[in-house]
Amino acid sequence: MGLLKEGFITNEEYNLAKPIGSRPARLCGLPKLHKPNENYPLCPVMSAIKTVGYGLGRMLKNGLSHLRTSPYVIKDSFDFLNKIKSSKMWTRYQFHLM
């Protein structure tokens, strides 16, 4: 409540972060069908929707999502390679990439 009073977060963000009507997380198991056993082991999958921290996570995601659109963020190794090849250093130096 202090962050709301100080104006650090909005009413909407406060309502997202406030745990109302929360429930425990749900744990499900997906069978690993690629395993050769007849007794297929389960791969655990956790659903955290409507848990205590779910709204807080959504609030933080909304507040920090602009950081992912920075030109300095690399999505994967292919994006990394493309950024290196398009840089000015690529023409000056010989890179040995594996």
pLDDT value, residue 96: 59
Long-range own/partner contacts, residues 68-77 (CB < 8 A, 24 or more apart): none
In a domain, 98, yes or no: no
Question: Could you tell me the residue range of the domain that residue 13 belongs to?
Answer: 2-92
Contact of 26 with 47, CB cutoff 8 Å: yes
**3-state DSSP call for residue 85?**
helix
Tokens of 33: 């069908």
Each residue's pLDDT tens digit, 78-96: 998 888 888 776 666 655 5
The H helix count followed by the E strand count for the chain is 5, 2
Number of domains in the chain: 1
In a domain, 37, yes or no: yes
Predicted TM-score (pTM) of the model is 0.52
In a domain, 97, yes or no: no
In a domain, 44, yes or no: yes
